[in-house]
A and B are shown apart, each in its own frame.
Chain A
Amino acid sequence: MMDVAYALKRFDFLGKEFLTWLWYAVENQADTLRHIDPQMASLEIGNRLVLQNKNQQNNETVTIRGDSAGMEEGVLALRKGALVAEMNLIYRSGDENWHFSLKGETLDPSSVKLPETGRVETSDDIEGAAIEKYHLYRRVVDLVRSLFAHFLEQRLDSQWHTGVLPAFQAWINTKEG
């Protein structure tokens, strides 16, 4: 395996491409996402989306915030070649909701808000509470891993350029914000 520090820089684009694909998948491929995670009721874009366009001509960042924010600026940035650098997501399963954010650089979950769990009142409660929390965190970590694995298989397939990208481009060219 190549040097970790070098790989972080060399493959900086991979996580951003994944988040960009994920926006498309969230809006167009709900059945595929449910196939990847059969326990998923839905996956939605949350209250924060950051897009970056870094090339020789541009170094532009667009941040969309708020629960009812419009996506016009984001769509426009995508059309100009930006990628999603950061995304807040809402994952629903059964009656429970998970809120978390992902940055393209690491895909580490941050601002993770788990479904409500029982309060830890005494030290005797810790073991049970820890097991409950672990399973709730595990859902987020496994979801990200499964989604990324699906993206990776597509990204490394020849269909990426002939099937996936054209479908994505058709979506952003027709999508209203």
Chain B
Amino acid sequence: MGFFSSSAAISRYRVEGQTEGPLLETVREGLNRYLIRDIDQQAEERTIGWTNVDRPYAPSFEDSSFAIADFFLFALRIDKKSIPAKVIQKNLAEATAKRKAETERDFLSRSEKKMLKEHVINVLALRIPATPSIYDILWDYAENELWLFSTQKAAGEALESLFSKSFNLSLVRLFPYTMAEFHPGLTDAARDLLNKLTPCSFAKRDGS
């Protein structure tokens, strides 16, 4: 469902704010600072970062290939380790039995159980590779507009947060109300009417 796919879905945003330095350098710096990190050998279960559209598993923004015509083309990558619940259950049962044998007790306290579960998840996370999800992004800086090639809520939330941290700019989601708000022809009187607007009936005359 990406930019080059045969079928795509687009979430639209307006980019608000100004970068402090030259745009290209600010964007390159932000992309490099929050480049996706590999967590396969780490205990981390989830990581989010920027990557390239054409080489998402070998990210680098050292060259300017992400800057094309009047837009930037890059991608958001979310790597997540999904440990099946039954795998956790099995390993936790084994670890619990071992701990009971070591301490010669029939029970473990609530805090011991909690710590043991965290330990089991950390050990499993080291062994299980993360599954990457890639969401292409087109930032049309001439139009102050950004397109995320996904309509997944989690991808949108991750993008809004990482974009703000990376470039010190904010994203406003475009949907009917914000499209109306940003309509250049909207007068103050029309804006007042918009804010008071209520649904009307298409099926019969009403007075709304």
Contacts and interface: CB of A to CB of B under 8 A. Distances in A.
A18 B199 CA distance: 11
15 contacts: A1-B181, A8-B175, A11-B177, A11-B197, A14-B197, A18-B176, A81-B201, A104-B176, A106-B173, A109-B10, A112-B8, A113-B7, A123-B54, A127-B68, A152-B183
Interface string B97-114: 000000000000000000
Contacts of B151: 106, 108, 110
Interface stretch (A37-45, A89-97, A133-141): A133-141
A107 B179 contact: yes
Contact of B179 (A2, A20, A145): A145
A155 B200 CA distance: 10
Interface of A: 1-2, 4, 7-8, 10-11, 13-15, 17-18, 20, 78-81, 83, 104-114, 120, 123, 126-127, 129-131, 133-134, 137-138, 141, 145, 148-149, 152-153, 155-156, 160-161, 165-166, 168-169, 172
Closest 4 CB pairs of A and B: A110-B9, A14-B176, A13-B199, A11-B177
Name the residue among B3, B138, B177 with the largest chain A CB count within 10 angstroms: B177
Nearest to B8: A112
Interface of B: 3-4, 6-12, 53-54, 65, 68-69, 71, 73, 138, 140, 145, 147, 151, 172-181, 183, 185-186, 190, 193-195, 197-205, 207-208
A83 B202 CA distance: 8
B185 A149 contact: yes
Contact of A107 (B3, B175, B207): B175
A17 B199 contact: yes
Nearest to B207: A161
A169 B178 contact: no
A169 B175 contact: no
B195 A2 contact: yes
Given A20-B202, A141-B12, A112 B7 contact: yes
Contacts of A79: 203
A138 B12 CA distance: 11
B71 A134 contact: yes
Given A110-B9, A156-B193, A169-B205, A129 B177 contact: no
Contacts of A133: 3-4
Given A110-B10, A127-B68, 17 more contacts: A1-B178, A10-B177, A81-B203, A106-B151, A107-B176, A108-B11, A110-B151, A111-B7, A131-B68, A131-B69, A134-B68, A134-B69, A134-B140, A148-B176, A156-B190, A161-B200, A169-B204
Contacts of B4: 120, 129, 133
A72 to B, nearest CB: 16
